[in-house]
């Protein structure tokens, strides 16, 4: 089976590409390379996965593709507040183009959406029926992508599934645009203070990348394209302070924590209700410490030092 992964040279895309390639799927990656990492490219290369350098808003070579996993997007809440039009243009038009190409050709689609579509939760844990009131242009762009696909399902017969990912972490995540786990791990391993925005009691739901890849493989293998929305999280809230402490413990460091004001567009609490995906896949999320250990060990294996100016 041939699976095309948009944004496949980014954090989630390349991990999913490697996971599926190791299980015998024929993978092709489409990415502008604008925000790809040397880490991701090296791993794709090691598995002989072909990469097409293209922007999904213009790309149309979908022949012999069975399934598309659409991961291409800009992903920084903070950047989206500064540059909203860029986010709407890239994320919404990108999803529209991919959805349209898939719909008219009968290709099945996995759309990677985000918990950012919910905004500040009215109740916890957040289930899929929770109102969607994004707080940032990023969250809005992901929600608009969902809306576009809903219409394309009825207009062009698109078969798809939307995964609302919570905070995904794991090997190969860039610290430039997102990824508090990577930021903390890199800083702690260099012995630098960890920066927390707000008082550190805000919670997030951290889900290990392999759990996300497993769900996608289950959907692709089982042909579960039911046009439904599924939350993908661990189902457990972790405070940012707790995360910082756990990473320092795993790295054997005791470092100062620097407090900065909360950032615009950041929510206070977040945790997923994962009953729906658990019914579909017997989803068993990796415990946080176990996922963090794997992430930290890969950080040492593949890390390429950033230039110090
Ligand atoms: N990382 C998370 O915790 C998280 C959480 C929720 C949702 N998501 C979603 O998962 C997806 C992947 O996120 P990620 O963390 O891997 O981000 P990433 O920035 O590491 O990867 C995204 C990749 O998409 C590419 N890209 C961007 N625009 C493109 C375009 N128009 N055409 C082709 N390639 C393009 C970038 O070059 C990059 O390699 C995104 O859609 C994001 O919204 C991520």
Instruction: Return the domain boundaries, the chain.
Output: 2-168+206-232, 170-204+236-270+287-302
Q: How far is the CA of 73 from the centre of ligand 1 (A)?
A: 4
pLDDT computed for residue 26 by the predictor? 98
Q: Which residues have CB under 8 Å from 297's CB, separation 6+? A: none
pLDDT digits (tens, 9 = 90+) for 32-69: 999 998 999 999 999 999 999 999 999 999 999 999 99
Question: Does the model's pTM come out above 0.85?
Answer: yes
Q: Which residues have CB under 8 Å from 228's CB, separation 6+? A: 161, 162, 276
Q: Is the pLDDT of residue 173 over 50?
A: yes
Atom of ligand 1 nearest to the CA of 57: 31
Nearest CA to ligand 1 atom 1: 168
pLDDT digits (tens, 9 = 90+) for 7-41: 999 999 999 999 999 999 999 999 999 999 899 99
Atom of ligand 1 nearest to the CA of 116: 6
pLDDT computed for residue 179 by the predictor? 86
Q: Is the pLDDT of residue 294 over 80?
A: yes
Per-residue confidence at 308, pLDDT binned at 50, 70, 90?
very low
- State phi, psi for 303 to the nearest 5 degrees: -60, 135
Nearest CA to ligand 1 atom 26: 72
Name the CATH topology of 170-204+236-270+287-302.
Answer: UDP-galactose 4-epimerase; domain 1 (3.90.25)
pLDDT computed for residue 301 by the predictor? 57
Catalytic residues: 138
Q: Is the pLDDT of residue 201 over 70?
A: yes
Mutational pocket test of ligand 1: of 71, 77, 134, 174, the residue with most ligand atoms within 8 Å of the beta carbon: 71
Q: Is the pLDDT of residue 172 over 80?
A: yes
Q: How far is the CA of 256 from the centre of ligand 1 (A)?
A: 31
Per-residue confidence at 304, pLDDT binned at 50, 70, 90?
very low
Task: Compute the average pLDDT of residues 193-197.
Answer: 95
Atom of ligand 1 nearest to the CA of 94: 31
pLDDT digits (tens, 9 = 90+) for 222-275: 999 999 999 999 999 999 999 999 999 999 999 999 999 988 778 899 999 999
Q: To the nearest 10°, report the CA torsion of 109, 111, 112, 116.
A: -170
- In which residue are the tokens 């008082």 written? 199
Is the Cβ–Cβ distance between 246 and 292 less than 8 Å?
yes
CATH code, 2-168+206-232: 3.40.50.720
Percent of the chain with pLDDT over 90: 89
The chain-wide mean pLDDT, for the chain, equals 94
Q: How far is the CA of 74 from the centre of ligand 1 (A)?
A: 6
Mutational pocket test of ligand 1: of 75, 96, 144, 211, the residue with most ligand atoms within 8 Å of the beta carbon: 75
Per-residue confidence at 305, pLDDT binned at 50, 70, 90?
very low
Q: Is the pLDDT of residue 302 over 90?
A: no
Per-residue confidence at 309, pLDDT binned at 50, 70, 90?
very low
Closest CA to 30 of 1, 74, 61: 61
pLDDT computed for residue 177 by the predictor? 63
pLDDT digits (tens, 9 = 90+) for 66-81: 999 999 999 999 899 9
Ligand 1, residues at Cβ distance < 6 Å: 6-7, 9-13, 30-36, 55-57, 71-75, 90, 94, 112, 114, 142, 165, 167-168, 174, 177-178
Task: Compute the average pLDDT of residues 129-140.
Answer: 96
């Amino acid at each position: 089976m041939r699976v095309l992964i948009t944004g496949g040279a980014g954090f989630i895309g390349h991990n999913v590409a490697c996971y599926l390639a190791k299980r015998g799927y024929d993978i092709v990656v489409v990415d502008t390379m604008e925000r790809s990492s040397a880490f991701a490219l090296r791993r794709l290369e090691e598995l002989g996965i072909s990469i097409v350098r293209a922007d999904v808003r213009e790309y149309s070579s979908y022949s012999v593709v069975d399934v598309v996993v659409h991961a291409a997007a800009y992903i920084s809440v903070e950047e989206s507040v500064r540059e909203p039009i860029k986010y709407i243009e890239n994320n919404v038009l990108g999803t529209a183009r991919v959805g349209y190409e898939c719909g008219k050709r009968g290709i099945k689609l996995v759309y990677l959406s985000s918990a950012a579509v919910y905004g500040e939760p009215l109740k916890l844990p957040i289930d899929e029926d929770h109102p969607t009131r994004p707080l940032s242009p990023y969250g809005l762009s992901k929600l608009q992508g969902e809306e576009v696909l809903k219409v394309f399902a009825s207009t062009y017969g698109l078969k798809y599934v939307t995964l609302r990912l919570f905070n995904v972490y794991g090997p190969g995540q860039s610290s430039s645009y997102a990824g508090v786990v990577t930021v903390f791990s890199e800083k702690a391993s260099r012995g630098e203070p960890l920066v927390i925005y707000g008082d550190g009691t805000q919670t997030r739901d951290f889900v290990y990348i392999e759990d996300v890849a497993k769900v996608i493989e289950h959907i692709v293998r089982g042909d579960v394209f039911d046009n439904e929305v599924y939350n993908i999280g661990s189902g457990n809230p972790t405070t940012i302070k707790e995360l910082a402490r756990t990473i320092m413990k795993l790295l054997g460091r005791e470092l100062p924590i620097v407090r900065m004001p909360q950032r615009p567009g950041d929510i206070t609490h977040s945790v997923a209700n994962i009953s729906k995906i658990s019914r579909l896949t017997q989803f068993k999320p990796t415990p946080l410490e176990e996922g963090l250990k794997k992430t930290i060990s890969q950080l040492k294996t593949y890390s390429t030092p950033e230039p110090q100016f």
